[in-house]
Structures are given as C-alpha cells and as structure tokens.
Amino acid sequence: MLTQTLNTQAINTQINGKIAPGHSVSDQFGAIAGHIGLVATEFSYRKEEEIYGEDEPSEYVYQVVTGAVRSYKLLSDGRRQIGAFHLPGDVFGLESGPTHRLAAEAIIDTTVRLVKRASLEKAAGTDVQVARKLWAMTAGELRHAEDHMLLLGRKTAMERVATFLLEMDRRLAVAGMMALPMCRRDIGDYLGLTLETVSRALSQLHAQGILGFSGARQIVLRNRARLHNLDA
C-alpha cells in the first residue's frame, strides 16, 4: 500500500503489460486530491478481484491508474448488467447515497488510487474549485447513464456494438489499434446482448471490411465512417 498525493504524469504514462490511456486524460480527480490535506492511497487488485461490493458503504472515491474496472449489478436469477467500464484516468465509486449501488471488479490486474469520500465532501464545502470539479465528475456520470439507457432501450444489436466500438476507439486506441481489456461476454453484459450476438456482429463487421482483428482482443477500425453510419 502506498500513500501519496496524486501524480498526474503517472496516470498518463504507458506501462508495459497494462492498460494505460491512449489519449490525454482530464485529471479532475488529481486536481481535487492535490487540495491541501487530501492524500490518495494506492492499491493493486488482481484480475477478477472485487474492489467493493453492491450495498457496501461508499467510504471512498476511486480512480483507475492502470488496468480496467467494470461496475455491475447481479440480478436475482444470476444475470449480470454491466453499467460501465472504467479505464485509466476514470473516476468511479462516486455515490449520492451512503452505499454503493453497483459492485466494482478488476477486469485485469489493476491499480487504483482512492480518496476518502468524507474528505472530499469536506473540501468541497470550503473550496469552490473542488466543488465544481466534483460536480463536473457527477455530471459526466449522469451523461453516461443517459447514453447507456438510450443504447439499451432503443438501439439494435448492430447499433449497440457500433456505439461500443466507437467509444472504445476514442478512449483506448493507440496508433489506430485498440486493445480491449474486456472479453466478449463482458461486452454483451454491457450492451444487453448475448455472447453469440456480440460475436456475430463483430464477424459481420469484419466481413464488411469495417474492422480487422490482430489477436483475440486487438481491433483495428478500417472504416470509421461506415461504423459511424451504423451508430444511429
């Protein structure tokens, strides 16, 4: 365990063997944690290890340094709905209530930084800049939730896969290629589709020359314009 003030440069560094951001990250969390009296604690989690569970006390706010995290809810019959994928630089675990609505789990070996929620709330009460940054992060989560609701409620299977690929291309792509940390079952649970439907959609996009594969989870978008046309 390492206790330190957040280092913005570390968040933007490509680390061998781990997922790091392909593009520059707006480090609002780092700016907040740099506030006098706030320190961030760094933890590492193994692949598939739980970071926090559903209905557990929301004592901390987290930021991914390297790796990837999924937040999800299990239904009573065992089905899983993934609410979001959190990649390097992303903040998660910011709740309005006293407990976590979703569980969070490391998709691959992952390092996160965390700050006590009570400390953030106290800082926001005395520093308008901290309050604004917290509001910006909350608004970003709300926009994502609205977009995800539209995706699940109105888009076809192919439109959902196209939306997902364009989002991952924006967030992960390096030199034209994106290395997905999540498996196809994860993608299906995020998009509300079966594993077979996701695989079939990817195969169709490959056959149409819209994307190419370089390994099981490495994808190259060959025709973004056509993919955008599929994203209604």
What digits encode the pLDDT tens for the residues 71-123? 999 999 999 999 999 999 899 999 989 999 999 999 999 999 999 998 888 88
Q: Where in the sequence of the chain do the CATH 2.60.120.10 domains occur?
A: 2-153
> For residue 33, what pLDDT is reported?
66
How far apart, in whole angstroms, are the C-alpha atoms of residue 52 and residue 59?
10
Q: Give the lowest-confidence range in 58-62, 64-68, 136-140.
A: 136-140
Residue 227 DSSP one-character state: H
* pLDDT recorded at residue 6: 36
Say which residue, 18 or 144, is predicted with more confidence: 144
Q: How confident is the model at residue 173 (pLDDT cuts 50, 70, 90)?
A: confident
State whether CATH 2.60.120.10 applies to domain 2-153: yes
pLDDT (0 to 100) of residue 119: 87
| DSSP secondary structure code for residue 37 in this structure | T
| Ranges of CATH 1.10.10.10 domains, the chain | 155-230
Round the average pLDDT of the chain to a whole number and report it: 85
Express each pLDDT in 180-192 by its tens digit: 999 999 999 999 9
Residue 224 has pLDDT above 70, yes or no: yes
Check residue 161 and give its pLDDT.
97
Single out the residue of 93, 108, 80 nearest to residue 187, CA to CA: 80
The better pLDDT of the pair 22, 229 is held by 229
Q: Which CATH architecture has domain 155-230?
A: Orthogonal Bundle (1.10)
42: DSSP letter = E
State yes or no: pLDDT of 21 exceeds 50.
no
Percent of the chain with pLDDT over 90: 63
The answer to whether residue 20 scores a pLDDT higher than 80 is no
Compare 1 and 110 and report the one with higher pLDDT: 110
Tell me if 99 sits within 8 A of 52, measured CB to CB: no
**Nearest CA-CA partner of 30 in 61, 74, 57:** 61
pLDDT computed for residue 140 by the predictor: 86
The torsion defined by the Cα of 52, 56, 58 and 62, in degrees rounded to 10, comes to 0
